[in-house]
Amino acid sequence: MPKKLKSVEEALAMVKSGDRVMVSGFGNVGDPKQLVAALARRNIKDLTIISNDLGSPGIGLGALLSAGMVKNLVGNYYNWNPDVADAYNSGKIGVQLVPQGSFAEGIRAAGVGIPAFYTPTGVNSKLTQGLEEREFGGRKYVLQEAIKADVALISAAKADTLGNLVYYKTARNFNPLMAMAADLVIADVGEIVPAGTFDPEAIVTPHIFVDVLVQRR
């Protein structure tokens, strides 16, 4: 049995109240559904969820909001879940909106040890109010800090027993980036194969970034 392999319950027991939790996926593509469902069953609170979106009302990550587990959101596309606007307007949660490109690059930056970077995206808009500005080559830029997490919940098509991951087409979206940017990485995988099975060129996320494997049921 692979040393990194755990049950979904064992894996999600590692998530604690107050954690910053990255969750991969774009809508219903590339998201770790099994892990999110297990997280929604935990009796924890005050989570900061770092994700592209927050599912739908009561569905996927939306179930965490419905259960009162969420304190803050960091992301960019919450149109699918009107509960986010209701919770924010009523003062129940905080929301940090980050333009999608800056969001992806902020996660990548955290993974490679870059604390912040300048971007022109969002200059002179409400999204970047209060951020440091500088001018380069006659153009304004704002300083975007790296986005790091305590835990990342990701999804992959296959893993080998060491924890090397491969993905299926567009399901790669945020998965490889988030695998680099969290202290603890839990990967939900469809199939686990012996080490040495993968062509090294096919491996997208090296095993050094992966702490826990969960077999998808």
Residue spans of alpha helices (H) in the chain? 8-12, 33-40, 62-66, 82-89, 100-111, 175-180
86: amino acid identity, one letter = D
Tokens of 70: 């969420």
Q: What is the pLDDT of residues 175-191, one digit of tens each?
A: 999 999 999 999 999 99
Q: Flag whether the pTM goes above 0.85.
A: yes
pLDDT digits (tens, 9 = 90+) for 59-69: 999 999 999 99
C-alpha–C-alpha distance, residues 9 and 119, integer Å:
40
Output DSSP code: residue 4: T
Asked if residue 90 has pLDDT above 80, the reply is yes
Strands of 139-145's sheet in order across: 116-119, 139-145, 133-136
* pLDDT value, residue 1: 65
Amino acid at 34: Q
pLDDT band at 2 (very low <50, low <70, confident <90, very high): confident
Closest by alpha carbon to 42, among 64, 24, 20? 64
Question: Which CATH topology does 8-98+147-215 take?
Answer: Glutaconate Coenzyme A-transferase (3.40.1080)
Please write the tens of the pLDDT for every residue from 96-132.
999 999 999 999 999 999 999 999 999 999 989 999 9
